[in-house]
Amino acid sequence: MDMAQNGTSVSIQDLSLNFGAVSVLKTLNLDVAQGEFVVLLGPSGCGKSTLLNCVAGLLDISEGRIFIKGKNVTWEEPKDRGIGMVFQSYALYPQMTVEKNLSFGLRVAGLPRDEIVKRIARAAEILQIEPLLQRKPSALSGGQRQRVAIGRALVRDVDVFLFDEPLSNLDAKLRSELRVEIKLLHRKLQNTMIYVTHDQIEAMTLADRIAVMKGGVIQQLDAPQTIYNRPVNRFVAGFLGSPAMNFVEGRLEKHGDGWSFVAEDLKIPLGTYQFDGQPEAGPAVFGIRPEHVSLNSGTGWPFSTSANVEVVEPMGSDTLVWLKLAQQKFSVRVTSERTPQNDEAVTLGFDPMRASLFDAETGGRI
């Protein structure tokens, strides 16, 4: 089986991992294409780091196998897998200078002196850390430390980069700066990257594909836009998007030859909604993102209704308007110029095409 040929860089097959009696990863499958940027996204404790550690060879897996560049590396040592890893806590060797930190792996591998010098120079140039080479990690800022940590993976000239929440310890401004840098780095190097985060913005901005995880199971693996627009279940829908998607609980009913979503006096015709399969009448959850609802913009919408504003939350460029739909909390995102007053009566309209319907019981997309 030659997987490098068909462009697969990392292939995880039926991977399971148990800590004692606790099953953390459950028969997980994931193929990452050559040069692809895949983000593992999920709440804390869902097994993202565990999965990454398995790929790196830092944890012994319980079941399954792992291929990197077509080679079965299931039993290989981390250093023989062609991977570099960047950790949340930077994990720089505190007693070594930046230069020694970068060269450690190369010295262990016994590379010739001039080759080491060359590689460090290249990495330092790419990451713009040349002036820091003789400093100890304790004399660096958080952003600089993480740059050095990335450099440590860079000098090893590996096929696959593994990032475990590399930006989580940085403040918001640095985080967005380094995010862009990582994206640029990926464009420049064109190598495979698997990136763990619980931050949906990082996931959305960086990923070619996002794997949303929950409880050790990949819920959905798709392009960011697909995951955003057509989440496969209620968990994915609620996890992505800030402010979060609105959920209205009610029933799916058939009226004549068209389907509608009904909750109390609210009745949303679903003429434009694309069902995943054959819908069935019964309890359901209607989800729509705050930015897909329009406020006071006429009646040209497939669906419109009126409500009273309860609370207004200004967020800078936008404002989040909270109101009630069928006695359930509902938010609408408007530009700040169009902010309504508290208690103002407003009309809201949207196209059910942009909505997501979920089974009330299983949470799966209908």
Partner 1 sequence: MTAAQITAIQPVQDAQDQTGVAPFGPKPRHVSPGRIGIYVFLVIAALFFLIPVYIMIVTSLKGMPEIRLGHLFSLPAEPTFQPWADAWLHACTGRDCNGLSPGFYNSLKITVPSVIISIICASINGYALTFWPYKGANLLFGLLVFGAFVPYQVVIYPLIIGLSSVGLFATLPGIIIVHTIFGMPILTLLFRNFYAALPVELFKAARVDGAGFWRIFFSIMLPMSVPITVVAIILQVTGIWNDFLFGIVFAGRSNWPMTVQLNNIVNTTTGVREYNVNMAATILTAAVPLIIYFVSGRWFVRGIAAGAVKG
Ligand X SMILES: Nc1ncnc2c1ncn2[C@@H]1O[C@H](COP(=O)(O)OP(=O)(O)O)[C@@H](O)[C@H]1O
The residue ranges that bind partner 1 (CB under 8 A) are 53, 56-58, 77-79, 83-85, 87-95, 104-105, 108-109, 136-138, 149, 152, 156
Applying CB under 5 A, does 356 fall inside the site for Mg ion?
A: no
Angle at 77 between CA 39 and CA 17, to 5 degrees: 55
Cβ atoms 215, 262 nearer than 8 A: no
Residue with smaller CB distance to partner 1, 152 or 186: 152
257-292 b/e (C-beta count within 10 Å ≥ 16 → b): eebbbbbeebebebeebeeeeebeeeebbbbbbbbb
Residue with smaller CB distance to ligand X, 48 or 69: 48
Applying CB under 5 A, does 197 fall inside the site for Mg ion?
A: no
Contacted by 47, from Mg ion, partner 1, ligand X, none: CB < 5 to 8 Å by type: ligand X
Residue with smaller CB distance to Mg ion, 182 or 309: 182
Instruction: Quote the least distance from Cβ 172 to partner 1, whole Å.
Output: 22
Contacted by 95, from Mg ion, ligand X, partner 1, none: CB < 5 to 8 Å by type: partner 1
Contacted by 46, from Mg ion, partner 1, ligand X, none: CB < 5 to 8 Å by type: ligand X
Count other C-beta atoms under 10 Å from residue 227's C-beta.
27
3-state helix, strand, coil in the chain (%, to 5): 30, 35, 35
Instruction: Quote the least distance from Cβ 256 to partner 1, whole Å.
Output: 60
Residues 35-64 touching Mg ion, rule: CB under 5 A, are 49
Residue with smaller CB distance to ligand X, 20 or 298: 20
Residue with smaller CB distance to ligand X, 1 or 22: 22
Instruction: Quote the least distance from Cβ 236 to partner 1, whole Å.
Output: 29
Angle at 224 between CA 218 and CA 227, to 5 degrees: 55
Residue with smaller CB distance to Mg ion, 49 or 144: 49
Cβ atoms 191, 160 nearer than 8 A: yes
Residue with smaller CB distance to Mg ion, 49 or 356: 49
Contacted by 84, from ligand X, Mg ion, partner 1, none: CB < 5 to 8 Å by type: partner 1
| Bond before 78 cis per omega within 30 degrees | no
Instruction: Quote the least distance from Cβ 251 to ligand X, whole Å.
Output: 35
Q: What are the residues facing 28 on neighbouring strands?
A: 15
Contacted by 45, from partner 1, Mg ion, ligand X, none: CB < 5 to 8 Å by type: ligand X
**List of E strands, the chain:** 8-19, 22-33, 37-41, 63-68, 71-72, 83-86, 160-164, 192-197, 209-214, 217-222, 246-255, 258-263, 266-269, 282-288, 294-295, 303-314, 318-325, 328-335, 345-350, 356-359
What residue ranges bind Mg ion (CB under 5 A)?
A: 49
